[in-house]
Amino acid sequence: MSLNSKKLFREKFGYEPSEMYFSPGRVNLIGEYTDIAGGHVLPMAIQLGIEASVSLRKDRTVRVFSFKDTVSFSLDNLEKNTKHSWINYIIGEFYELEKRGVKVEKGFDIALDSSLPVGSGLSSSACLEVLIGTIINQHSLKKVEKLEIVKASKENENEFMGLSSGIMDQFACEMGEEGKCIFLDTKTIEYKLSPFIIQGHDLVIMNSNRPRKLTDSKYNDRVREMKEGLEDLKLYLNFNCACDISLEDLEKYKDKINNPLSYKRLKHLISDNLRVIKASELLSQGRVDEFCKVLNEGHQSVSKDFEVAGFELDTLCEEALKGGAKGARMTGAGFGGCCIFVSEKSKTKEIMLHVVDAYRQKTGYNCQCYIASPNDGAKKIS
């Protein structure tokens, strides 16, 4: 899908924009929910994302066109908009960065165009947050490093918007690099850009078109079940977070965990953290077949032990493997959203056609497939 925020800007505001920016969405290769457990994740920025055409105004008004609406607010009144909820991600970014001394004297006209499927779990909210953060930072007298934009964007989502999330999404959208995935320790925020080597293969995103609605899901139940298990284990083990615990110790003290579901949740989190470490090493060495085996193990774990995949995402992965993919798993928070698969390039088109047809027959939903590649993080593009 081609983006044309410049055309939208001309149509809505009646003059030419002076700048353009792009922020990518993200896909998490493996490490699901490990960010709530102090573990590692392995995301990458992708080529799908949000483009912004921008011009600086002479007053302190910000006008933003997106979702067929133009919404305005003043830099002197950074309060939530009760009518248009999407604009609050933008207001919140100004608010959080201003708290850090990163602020602008004049407002903007901004037109947005997106290639990210709505509600797909490819981090459209984080993508928008770091996009706006990048624009603000570009025009602020006090400029900050990319990591500070990441932190401000997470605070925007958690505090201003009131939505629970880890730091992975904002980190990937801001810190991504072409040809690399991000091996991130969510406990220490230490990271390295790890080579993404899958020569002769494609990475494909499968959008289930079953929108993710975490407020309607059992997300909070999973967090609670994890915490209950940790409370039980505190009597026997020393740890700061779930991923500090070894699988051996988890098995040793399994009978001390009162709720069997808590054991299953911890088993997934601890084992998936180990899979992230292994997958990063395999990818950097181009060992695609072994990497795909880890993907398959990861999906079984997040589906059976953490129970957040559901019929649609399980079906996508099963059909991708039936069609000839080497590895497949859900990506993101689950309860709808997307899956990924890896296949030999010569088989990719055939597998995509098989998945789309079989998935429609089994679920009634239409699936879209996108070949994905690691992309740069948010940046000015002209």
**Residues labelled catalytic:** 169
User: β-pairing, 61-66 with 40-41?
Assistant: unpaired
Tell me the C-alpha distance between 219 and 227, whole Å.
13
Q: Are 370 and 235 in contact, with CB atoms under 8 Å apart?
A: no
Distance of CA 316 to the CA centre of its chain: 19
Q: Which two three-digit tokens encode residue 163?
A: 């939505």
Q: Are 284 and 194 in contact, with CB atoms under 8 Å apart?
A: yes
Which helix H or strand E contains 347, and what residues bound it? Answer: none
CA-wise closest residue to 121 among 275, 298, 340 = 340
For residue 218, give every residue at least 6 positions away whose Cβ sits within 8 Å of its Cβ, in sequence order, or none.
307, 308, 335
Q: Which two three-digit tokens encode residue 362?
A: 């089994």
Instruction: Give the helix ranges, DSSP H, for the chain.
Output: 5-13, 87-99, 124-139, 146-155, 168-175, 219-233, 247-252, 260-284, 288-300, 310-323, 348-363
Tell me the C-alpha distance between 330 and 339, whole Å.
4
User: β-pairing, 190-195 with 338-344?
Assistant: unpaired
Q: Are 332 and 289 in contact, with CB atoms under 8 Å apart?
A: no
Q: Are 59 and 109 in contact, with CB atoms under 8 Å apart?
A: no
Tell me the C-alpha distance between 344 and 349, whole Å.
10
Q: Are 93 and 127 in contact, with CB atoms under 8 Å apart?
A: no
